[in-house]
């Protein structure tokens, strides 16, 4: 307890510990949404669903950078593995209630782009999601993004919640194109999760293209 002095200014008694407030909560910059990073480990002996591991969640700019400065870059993932960034509580799976009626915008990247472009494009995609600079309706539609490192073509995808909302899907596709500065000769294709889940071998038709 502090003792008042003759001039009325409170004075701390000697040998009393002064509680210093933790500066962190004050100094951190909150994001609008809590996000989670997932890692898909390609292991043929484990069920697909069990191969998705949640790495960490973050809700401030500082915690986002702390996480992304700490982890392996996407271009160094083992072939067959993914990183997924999804809104908290949404699993990076077709089956999640927030994804079940949705689909994804995909950009295919050839192997030579893995060393030159992949990390930059993944970071631009993350910025598009986490920055939430799009119209609110579009931001709400987005559930997450996935970077998949594959033997032939790597793939960058933005997942949305409802494939029937054509106008919103198209706007998100254009936003992704602009944010990633995709050259005109590279199409972005939107496919429905339900079609992807039923696919056997041959590729499926895109519902939308930008
Ligand atoms: P993939 O990782 O989306 O594509 O799905 P990849 O590896 O490029 O191969 P592609 O040639 O099939 O495009 C690969 C396989 O993982 C699918 O065929 C499913 O068996 C499984 N899988 C992928 N996803 C995204 C899901 C999912 O959301 N749920 C379930 N249950 N399985 C999935």
- Is 37's C-beta closer than 6 angstroms to any atom of ligand 1? no
Confidence of residue 19 (pLDDT cuts 50, 70, 90): confident
Closest by Cα among 137, 206, 136 to 167: 137
Confidence check: pLDDT of 70 > 90: yes
**What rounded mean pLDDT belongs to the chain?**
91
Structural domain span for residue 145: 3-209
- Is 48's C-beta closer than 6 angstroms to any atom of ligand 1? yes
Confidence check: pLDDT of 10 > 70: no
Confidence check: pLDDT of 3 > 60: no
pLDDT score for 203: 82
Total number of domains constituting the chain: 1
Residues 73/75/80/85 CA torsion (nearest 10 deg): 50
User: What atom in ligand 1 is closest to the CA of residue 92?
Assistant: 28
Q: Range with the lowest mean pLDDT among 5-9, 15-19, 121-125, 198-202?
A: 5-9
Centre of ligand 1 to C-alpha 13, Å, is 66
Which has more pLDDT, 23 or 117?
117
Secondary structure (3-state) at 68: helix
Sign (positive/negative) of CA torsion 110, 114, 115, 117? positive
Confidence check: pLDDT of 1 > 60: no
- Is 148's C-beta closer than 6 angstroms to any atom of ligand 1? yes
Q: What is the pLDDT of residues 86-139, one digit of tens each?
A: 999 999 999 999 999 999 999 999 999 999 999 999 999 999 999 988 999 999
The two three-digit tokens of residue 11, written as one number: 């004075």
The two three-digit tokens of residue 8, written as one number: 């009325």
pLDDT score for 201: 74
Query: Across residues 3-25, what is the average pLDDT?
Result: 58
- Is 46's C-beta closer than 6 angstroms to any atom of ligand 1? no
Centre of ligand 1 to C-alpha 199, Å, is 9
pLDDT score for 13: 54
pLDDT score for 4: 44
> Residue 20 sits in a domain of what CATH number?
3.30.760.10
Confidence of residue 8 (pLDDT cuts 50, 70, 90): very low
Phi, psi of 16, rounded to the nearest 5 degrees: -105, 125
Q: Which residue's CA is minimally distant from atom 24 of ligand 1?
A: 93
Query: Across residues 140-148, what is the average pLDDT?
Result: 98
The two three-digit tokens of residue 77, written as one number: 């993932």
């Amino acid at each position: 307890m502090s003792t008042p002095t003759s001039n009325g200014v409170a004075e701390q008694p000697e040998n009393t510990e002064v509680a210093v407030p933790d500066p962190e909560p004050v100094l951190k910059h909150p994001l609008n949404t809590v996000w989670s990073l997932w890692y898909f480990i390609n292991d043929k002996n484990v069920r697909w669903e069990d191969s998705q591991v949640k790495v960490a969640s973050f809700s401030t700019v500082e915690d986002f950078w702390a996480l992304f400065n700490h982890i392996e870059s996407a271009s160094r993932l083992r072939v067959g593995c993914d990183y997924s960034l999804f809104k908290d509580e949404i699993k990076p799976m077709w089956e999640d209630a927030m994804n079940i009626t949705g689909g994804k915008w995909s950009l295919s990247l050839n192997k030579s782009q893995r060393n030159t472009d992949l990390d930059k494009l993944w970071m631009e995609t993350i910025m598009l999601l986490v920055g939430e600079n799009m119209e609110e309706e579009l931001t709400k539609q987005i559930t997450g993004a996935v970077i998949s490192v594959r033997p032939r073509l790597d793939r960058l995808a933005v997942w949305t919640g409802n494939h029937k909302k054509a106008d919103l899907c198209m706007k998100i596709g254009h936003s992704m194109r602009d944010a990633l500065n995709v050259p005109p000769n590279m199409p972005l294709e939107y496919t429905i999760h339900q079609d992807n889940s039923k696919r056997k071998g041959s590729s499926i038709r895109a519902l939308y293209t930008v």
